[in-house]
Amino acid sequence: MTSILLQEAIDYALTNSLIKFNTKFELVHAPLALAPYRLPSQVYEHLVVLTPLFNQLMLHVALDGDFLTEHLTQASQTDPFIAGLLAIHQETPNTQSLQLMINRNDYLLTQHFGTSEVLPKQVEFNTISASYPFLISRLTRLHQFLFRNHEWGKRLVENDPISGIVAGIAEMVGRYDHPKACLLTIVQLHEQNIFDQRGGEYQLWHQYQIPTIRMTLEEVAEEGFLREGHLIVRDQVAAITYFRAGYTPDDYPSAEAWKARRLIETSSTIDVPNTAMQLAGMKKIQQVLGVPEILRRFVNATTAEQIEATFVGLHLLDEMVENEGLTDSAMTLACRFPSHYVLKPQREGGGNNFYEQEMVEVLKSMDWKERHAYILMERIPALQHPTVLATEGKVQTTSGVSEIGRFGVCLSDGKEILMNQDVGYLVRTKAAAQNEGGVSAGYACLNTLCLDE
């Protein structure tokens, strides 16, 4: 039975561009689950409500340059990537008050101790290169087809984040108002997940007749220039510069790439995200926002309460904390209870965090200066569920954990919010034994949501 289902899923995936390149650069179906993730409907509705609140928070944080400098300077002293971004942020005057956020807030679900109440806990907020909005829109249709004769089919949640994202881009291109306007997508040279990006670009063209130019940062350095403040690339005006790369030091292999980032920031292009917004998405800032008084500097008390109900403990390595009746530095307690914590550097893209014994070794080898570039996060004891995962034609039936991401689109002009919406979800299901959870990094499969009463 599973083999028939698998073949149907693969045929549908290949026919409908649910594809990616694998590490050998062969074209394969995107990793996908063959059973949707079941969720109580009130949890689902709660997550939708939270999205605009988090968007508002992140907008206010990104607008506070002094705050970003205050909390990232120490990390920048041992982390050249943060130092590079912070320098651009500090040295470049703000040339564009319009802002477009295309982000994704990721959660794991956990159970309130001793009750059946299901609680979403935030893993992280992605302000740069929030991926999979196109492929996940396709997967929803794949599951609708696959489970057409099953009760799951009726309860699948409609999901089309790519349409909300493309509409946000089109709206902002309209506001930029230039006859030669295009979308500039910043890409990696060898992108395995190219079809997720291409899908949105084609939709932008078909629905709104807005063309896209794809360039690496080094290509922008070579070909891009400023004219009357506009960023000119290949005889077009980059109304929007959408970073689907630039979140990892690997995307800045030379001084030229950094020069391009500076050029983009200096121009009047609407960058998604600008450097401040990228910095606001750093794990260090997530940790600082865990301090109640600091969170309340950016949102009102009611919003703060809703947001912090999704937080787990986030700590500086030297901070005094309590665990299992012991009070000590977070670092010492992480070495004592390795399974209770995750060690995170200021990186995105998956595969960068440390867990268990490896975390202990890294913590022990760090000098005091390096500690500022990391945070310790409490491990979320995520709910497990049976699942069937299909990767490159192979099926694995296992106990799984699912991470739900909510895509948000927010348009603003300075502090004024013009539009702020939840536009859909991402589910990534991984084997429960796996620590990390990214799809691109090869740990998880795309999935859909099916609501319980």
Which residues contribute to the site for ligand ADP (CB under 6 A)?
106, 108, 123-124, 342, 344, 348-350, 352-353, 377, 379-380, 403, 436-438
Q: Which is nearer to ligand ADP, 137 or 353 (CB)?
A: 353
Q: Dihedrals φ, ψ of 74, to 5°?
A: -65, -45
Q: Which is nearer to ligand ADP, 344 or 372 (CB)?
A: 344
Shortest CB 380 distance to ligand ADP, Å? 4
Shortest CB 148 distance to ligand ADP, Å? 31
Nearest C-alpha neighbor of 287 from the set 328, 326, 324, 330: 330
Q: Which is nearer to ligand ADP, 181 or 277 (CB)?
A: 277
Q: How far apart are CA 73 and CA 151, in angstroms?
A: 53
Q: Which is nearer to ligand ADP, 211 or 350 (CB)?
A: 350
Q: Minimal CB distance to ligand ADP: which residue?
A: 437
Q: How far apart are CA 427 and CA 430, in angstroms?
A: 10
Shortest CB 45 distance to ligand ADP, Å? 23
Shortest CB 285 distance to ligand ADP, Å? 13
Q: Which is nearer to ligand ADP, 264 or 377 (CB)?
A: 377
Q: Which is nearer to ligand ADP, 214 or 347 (CB)?
A: 347
Shortest CB 105 distance to ligand ADP, Å? 11
Shortest CB 312 distance to ligand ADP, Å? 6
Shortest CB 116 distance to ligand ADP, Å? 21
Catalytic residue numbers, as ranges: 104, 124, 126, 131, 283, 344, 348-349, 428
- 248: exposed, middle or buried (C-beta count within 10 Å: 0-12, 13-18, 19+)? middle
Shortest CB 397 distance to ligand ADP, Å? 20
Q: Output the 3-class SS for the chain.
A: CHHHHHHHHHHHHHHCCCEEECCCCCEEECCEECCCEEEEHHHHHHHHHHHHHHHHHHHHHHCCHHHHHHHHHHHHCCCHHHHHHHHHHHHCCCCCCEEEEEEEEEEEEEECCCCCCEEEEEEEEECCCCCCHHHHHHHHHHHHHHCCCCHHHHHECCCCHHHHHHHHHHHHHHHHCCCCEEEEEECCCCCCCHHHHHHHHHHHHHHHCCCEEEECHHHHHHHCEEECCEEEECCEEEEEEEECCCCCHHHCCCHHHHHHHHHHHHCCCEEECCHHHHHHCCHHHHHHHCCHHHHHHHCCHHHHHHHHCCCCCEECCCCEEEECCEEEEHHHHHHHCHHHEEEEECCCCCCCCECHHHHHHHHHHCCCCHHHHEEEEECCCCCCEEEEEEECCEEEEEEEEEEEEEEEEEEEECCEEEEEEEEEEEEEEEECCCCCCCCCCCCEEEECEEEEC
- 113: exposed, middle or buried (C-beta count within 10 Å: 0-12, 13-18, 19+)? exposed
Q: Which is nearer to ligand ADP, 62 or 108 (CB)?
A: 108
Give the number of other Cβ atoms within 10 Å of residue 93's Cβ: 6
Q: Which is nearer to ligand ADP, 71 or 379 (CB)?
A: 379
